[in-house]
Structure 1
Amino acid sequence: MIMADTTVTDSLDPAQAEASKSWLSRLYTGTGAFEVIGRRRFYYMLTGVIVLIALLSIAVRGFTFGIDFEGGTRVQFPAADNVSTSQVETVYSQALGQDPVSVQTVGSGAGATVQIRSEALDQGQASTLQAALFDAFKPVNSGGTPTADAISFTDVSETWGGQITQKALIALAVFLVLVSIYISIRYERDMAIAGIAALFFDILVTAGVYSLVGFEVTPATVIGLLTILGFSLYDSVVVFDKVEENTRGILHLNRRTYAEQANLAVNQTLMRSINTTLISVLPVLALMIVAVWLLGVGTLKDLALIQLVGILVGAYSSIFFATPLVVTLKEKWGPVAAHTKKVLARRAGADSGAQRVPVAAGGAAAIKSEPVREAARAPQAGARPTGKRAKRRR
């Protein structure tokens, strides 16, 4: 870690280097210096803005559903050299008098194929389109012979997509119920509420990003959405576990509040959350680069995007939304609320008492010399204990 700090700060001036070292040190050691819980109103506002943008995108732009959900005909044939999607769209429009829903090239090199998604075609339309595509591009079969049979047609019913959606919703409902029961038993009710709220936030924001980007919603998208919920829950439970550890017995102490101990827990798990997120994002990025850009596999593109967004959103919600929400719920009612008021009142009384000490009675001098007295009472390094302390140690 020292070597990393030195590398980062070599190009900075001494003041900047010291500040950078201090920041990295606080980040890695988790000393509680980063105020998250104390600024929860700001993070609530930020979370609200993110949710609002997602809702507006879903309401205005909507989703681009794939052929598995809307039904239609999928046309596929090997892509010849220098065949562009615009040329395929032109041939399709001239043959049928209508535009296709989408045209894309999948794969690269000799394995590249052109995929056309259109509305449901009858037998006559399919024959006309097949003849027009063969005349324009002369696709070849696996043996290298040009033939119209290299152009395949697949009819897809929207019923299958509806069944997938229904099963996904049932799986989601069962998952949320089981998660709520587990967190309530393992931790407590307020943490269960915050954890479920974070999961809904993750689902909504991920769907909003998908709407903004305009990618097709496919069965792979649904599978990816269910997958990221596990990551989000894992990240939240890690922070909750540390909060529970730090706040155990807090009601019997008067020095720190529940919120302060929860903020310390967030700091102590912050670096772990960052590392976990980075490690999870790297394979997904590799999947997008290799499978999507190099190989052109459209299904993997859908799966990779939703996992990438879900991982990032889940990391944010566990730190800046779920844990602050737990503290807010705790401080609204119950013993934690009473304890917080008692600690804050005790601090306010101590501060006002120190300010009311008259100067004639040595108020300013006493306050000023207090650190000196404390230092005088503290044993010096290497000094041998004497008197009663020595007897106790013997």
Structure 2
Amino acid sequence: MRLRLVPEVTNFDFFYYQRYTFGASCVAMVLSLVIWLMMGLNFGIDFRGGTTIRTESVQSVDVGAYRDAIAPLNLGDVSITEVFDPTFGPDKNVAMIRIQAQDDTESVAADTVQSVEDQLKEVDPTITFPSVESVGPKVSGELIQTALIAVGASLAAILFYIWLRFEWQFSVGAVAALFHDVILTVGIFSALQIRFDLATIAALLTIIGYSINDTVVIFDRLRENLIKFRKRDLRDVMNLSVNETLSRTVMTSGTTLIALIALLILGGDVIRGFVFAITWGVVVGTYSSVYVAKNIVLYLGVNRDDKPSDKGNQFANVDA
């Protein structure tokens, strides 16, 4: 007996409320942009600048104890991560402590760094501080620029790839859905003032990859059905394609969310922002695959008369 989260054959009308669902997506995007412009993002150390302290100790690193020791200093955004390396011996335990710049200065003051070191020595007398490095505003600005280029380049590459594999209408729909996912994710981070750092950029790129994967699966089934049902209305063919891939979509999203929710609850503060971004992205990405990408293709229309064979366009059989 196989577990089925949805029936083997479904006939849901996903486009019955297409104006409302697409309109809600547009409103959500506008609200996200307004919130972003009004409230801004809670940038982490990667984008604000600050100081990184490397620690080494004979004792095991206790991130919680380190954080509790530094908390009374009220230094704002402090990130503590343990460094793992197979070359480290059992008596070499390394951690990286990142402290945001204070009062718009380029780095944390020397007396503040000394206070941090004193607090940590009370937790672990064997601790040493082999290096202290600062990240200034110039480097932070370059990181922001590089992050924007990375997201923009990925969207451009996906636009080109979907056009090669399918039709230009499909590529417009797919990239619009990805913009929808990215803007809503940035909007929720701005509204909740969740720390936005390089890990969040990695999460955004992961969301883009996950969302386009789900979209392409439905697009591929749609292309097959457009050839199979040439005389059938485009809306009905799209609805059939979504229903035929519904089981796969629910299983993929559901199992992914199970792992993400476990990490969100048990993963700790260090990765919570990253995991929250991906969790949110899986939800909105699944939604946008149907209610944004497919709606745009439906509005633009697809010319099915220019397909003399079942090969789609001239690039349809290019190996992925």
What TM-score range do you get, normalising by the shorter chain?
0.7 to 0.9
Distance 1:263 1:82 in 2: 52
Q: Which residue of 2 aligns with 1:326?
A: 297
Question: What is the aligned counterpart of 1:281 among 240, 245, 257?
Answer: 257
- Counting matched residue pairs gives 286
Indicate yes or no: 2:67 matched with 1:88: no
Report matched runs for 1:96-135 at 5 Å: 100-102=75-77, 116-119=99-102, 120=105, 125-127=109-111, 130=114, 134=118
Query: How far has the Cα of 1:56 moved from its partner?
Result: 2.5
- CA deviations on 1:150-175 (whole Å, 9 max, x unpaired) are 69754212333333333333333332
**CA 1:133/1:231 → structure 2, altered by over 3 Å: closer, same or farther?**
closer
**CA 1:70/1:114 → structure 2, altered by over 3 Å: closer, same or farther?**
closer
**CA 1:137/1:180 → structure 2, altered by over 3 Å: closer, same or farther?**
closer
Report the residue type matching 1:102 in the other structure. D
Q: Which residue of 2 aligns with 1:157?
A: 136
What's the secondary structure of 2:286's corresponding residue?
helix
Distance 1:111 1:287 in 2: 24
- CA deviations on 1:300-346 (whole Å, 9 max, x unpaired) are 23322222121211111002211122112118xx678xxxxxxxxxx
Report matched runs for 1:267-306 at 5 Å: 267-292=243-268, 296=269, 298=270, 300-306=271-277
**CA 1:138/1:326 → structure 2, altered by over 3 Å: closer, same or farther?**
same
Distance 1:177 1:137 in 2: 47
TM-score, with structure 1 as normaliser:
0.62
Question: What is the aligned counterpart of 2:148 among 156, 159, 169?
Answer: 169
**CA 1:81/1:50 → structure 2, altered by over 3 Å: closer, same or farther?**
closer
Distance 1:170 1:193 in 2: 20
Q: Which residue of 1 aligns with 2:241?
A: 265
The structure showing larger relative contact order (alpha-carbon pairs under 8 Å, at least 6 residues apart) is 2
What's the secondary structure of 1:73's corresponding residue?
strand
Report matched runs for 1:350-365 at 5 Å: none
Distance 2:159 2:138 in 1: 32
- CA deviations on 1:10-56 (whole Å, 9 max, x unpaired) are xxxxxxxxxxxxxx7xx422332x11123211111221232133123
Report the residue type matching 2:264 in the other structure. M
Distance 1:80 1:249 in 2: 63
- CA deviations on 1:201-237 (whole Å, 9 max, x unpaired) are 1110111111122122211111221122111111101
Distance 1:122 1:184 in 2: 47
Where structure 2 has 5 or more consecutive residues not aligned to the other structure, the ranges are 56-61, 83-92, 306-320
On the 8 A contact 1:75/1:117 being kept in 2, the answer is no
Q: Percent identity?
A: 29
Report the residue type matching 1:71 in the other structure. G
Structure with a larger share of its residues in helix: 1
Query: How far has the Cα of 1:193 moved from its partner?
Result: 0.8
On the 8 A contact 2:43/2:197 being kept in 1, the answer is yes
TM-score, with structure 2 as normaliser:
0.75
Indicate yes or no: 2:45 matched with 1:61: no
Where structure 1 has 5 or more consecutive residues not aligned to the other structure, the ranges are 6-23, 90-99, 337-394
Q: Which residue of 2 aligns with 1:198?
A: 177
